[in-house]
Amino acid sequence: MKWRSLEESAPDTAIRPLHEILAERKQLIAKYVPPETQAVHARVVAELREQGIAQRALAVGAKAPGFELKSHNGVVVSSAELLLKGSLVVCFFRGRWCPFCVGQLEAMNLVLPQIQQARASLVAISPQTVQQSFFMVDQHKLRFPLLSDAGNQVARQFGLVYRVPDDQRQVYRRAFVNLPFVNGDESWELPVPATYILETDGTILYASINPDYTVRPEPAEILDILAAP
């Protein structure tokens, strides 16, 4: 299944709300993906909720850990250097194989000029390798750094990491989602998708963490927070 970019989907219209884009992708999955496969994913989401991973993750008011990670073009990006310029928006995502991650990052890409006008920077972090991030930037024409968090070391400090259960691994394998190859390790660990806004001193101003990978915050919500006095 080829996921069209937002620009391909509606080149001459106003930016559509992200939840509409993601709802369409959910509908396609409901139509084409076997119910037993959908049930596995739903169970994992429910278990992560029950375990309280979102409540244990770093929240508003906490100090975010600093990080230095390689971008899609192999350049080391430092959070400390970005915070010297202004606020920092950080999107933790699962990988280029996830249509909901793709949808979110394409939507954030469309509002990048407004983020920059607010004197803020945008980065996205995943456990996928630098090469996979390069492919994603190239395919989806992203204009901000995708950072490779080898071994989910930074995501772990934010409290976002979980291990993919065995039955979900089998589902991914059947769908040709080879996480050991994509991420460059055998851990089968992923971050729960999360979006943060960090103030210049590293304090978390905004946090959106949801075990349901089909739900992401609207870019307009991020812009509203950045524009607030």
| pTM attached to this predicted model | 0.93
Coil, strand or helix: which one is 161? strand
Amino acid 187: pLDDT: 97
Amino acid 163: pLDDT: 98
Which residues are 123's β-sheet partners?
90
Q: By the 8 A CB rule, do 108 and 91 touch?
A: yes
DSSP-H helix ranges across 35-92 = 35-51, 53-56, 79-83
Which residues are 96's β-sheet partners?
none
In the block, residue with structure tokens 């950045």? 226
Amino acid 14: pLDDT: 66
Amino acid 10: pLDDT: 44
**What is the distance between the alpha carbons of residues 80 and 227, in angstroms, rounded to a whole number?**
22
**What is the distance between the alpha carbons of residues 188 and 215, in angstroms, rounded to a whole number?**
22
Amino acid 11: pLDDT: 42
CATH topology of domain 18-227: Glutaredoxin (3.40.30)
Amino acid 13: pLDDT: 43
Choose among 16, 26, 6: nearest CA to 220: 16
Q: Which residues in the chain land under pLDDT 70?
A: 1-14
**What is the distance between the alpha carbons of residues 22 and 152, in angstroms, rounded to a whole number?**
25
In the block, residue with structure tokens 């991973």? 53
**What is the distance between the alpha carbons of residues 171 and 208, in angstroms, rounded to a whole number?**
27
Amino acid 32: pLDDT: 95
In the block, residue with structure tokens 């850990």? 65
Edge-to-edge strand ranges of the sheet holding 204-209: 76-78, 68-71, 146-148, 120-126, 87-92, 194-198, 204-209
Q: Cα 139 vs. chain centroid, distance in angstroms?
A: 16
